Amino acid sequence: MRRFPSVRSLLFGLMVLLISAVSFAQLSISVRFGPPPIPVYEQPPCPEEGYIWTPGYWAYDDEVGDYYWVPGTWVLAPEPGFLWTPGYWGWSGVAFIFHEGYWGPRVGFYGGINYGFGYFGEGFEGGRWDHDRFFYNRSVTNVNVTNIHNVYNTTVVNNTTVNRVSYNGGEGGIPTRPTPQEEAAVNERHIPPVAAQAQHVQAARGNPELRASSNHGKPPIAATPKPGALNDRDVAPAKEAGGAYNPPANRGEANPGANTPASNSQNNVPRPNNVVHPKDFPPRERPAPPNTGNPEMDKKYQQQQDKMFAQQDKERQKLQQQQEKDHQKWAQQNVDDAKRQQLEQQHQQQTQQLEQRHNQQMQQWQEKHRPANQDRPK
């Protein structure tokens, strides 16, 4: 006789899905000043076979107007063959936007951020899958061979300039752009952060000591052996801050701070709290007109820029119209609140994916047309 899952099992499964969906929606967060540098810390030992390292990062609590450190931790892979692509902060030309991490068959773009422990800005050197078993590279990960035997040693030559910058683009940010392989990875099947990761983030958010205003970029809990284990004996504190951090004195006001690109007056634009539809984003302000010293070239660049913005506006309007039609359809079908919330999360993902693509287009355009005599971000 076929067995059907109990009501409790179904409810638990629904809760896991909802927690994961809420976590995935974190890419809607945008902030007008940049996060602190990545702190220096050691990696706790891998607890068991099948766990994959997910590096620590700075998240943002909109309610208190402050960044807080989400400790790096070992997470059980949701299924064999899947790897973790870390989230990252990127400068959009208006604000810093957080792009949520995800699980997938290969590692995608994570802003070129050097998180360490195998995540050196591109790809992952900390291990690899062999069918349904994960093998750990001991040269960059902390694995006890007494408990875990599937290991190997491959020295990783890191040609990237060592820095602890925690955001992509903008003044002082990492100038790296996605490779064709990383862009292709975006279209593959993904799994959002699992429930354990969402709970880990919430535990970090609820700890005042992990806020940047309290620890000044040197969190007392930098890494944990498992998600949520903030009090475990193997917790690793930060050895030192990754660099100086000078946030704006009044975080709740439109006052550009030291970590905000000084050349962008757009920083005074209010940041959206919960972007779901294209209309929820503030109007995009264009960068200063090109000034190469060649009037003909400047005119050509300006026309290209106008064309790009016109196309982006058209894509925003098209998506907005599509989503408004969905709203009308839901109203006719009397969709219940649970279903409506699920559909709104789909709208949010569509909107954020479109905005992320537009931000990347803008960053690529600015890099391509930056005057030769203008200093590039280092």
pLDDT in tens, 217-228: 999 999 999 999
Q: What token pair was written down for 7? A: 């009501």
Q: Domain residues of the chain, as ranges?
A: 10-274, 276-378
Confidence band of 207 (pLDDT split at 50, 70, 90): very high
Question: How high is the pLDDT of residue 116?
Answer: 93
Q: What is the pLDDT of residues 61-120, one digit of tens each?
A: 988 899 999 999 999 999 999 999 999 999 887 789 999 999 999 999 999 999 999 999
Question: How high is the pLDDT of residue 266?
Answer: 34
Confidence band of 285 (pLDDT split at 50, 70, 90): low
Q: What is the pLDDT of residues 165-179, one digit of tens each?
A: 999 988 889 988 898
At residue 276, does pLDDT exceed 60? yes
CB within 8 Å of 27: residues ≥ 6 apart: 87, 97, 98, 99, 100, 352, 356
**What is residue 21's three-state secondary structure?**
helix
Average pLDDT, the chain: 80
Looking at per-residue confidence, does 329 or 341 come out higher? Answer: 329
For the chain, what is the total number of helices (H) and then of strands (E)?
Answer: 6, 14
Q: What is the pLDDT of residues 248-262, one digit of tens each?
A: 765 544 333 334 333
Are 222 and 230 a contacting pair, CB within 8 Å? no
At residue 145, does pLDDT exceed 80? yes
Confidence band of 14 (pLDDT split at 50, 70, 90): very low
Confidence band of 12 (pLDDT split at 50, 70, 90): very low
Are 377 and 172 a contacting pair, CB within 8 Å? yes
Question: How high is the pLDDT of residue 352?
Answer: 78
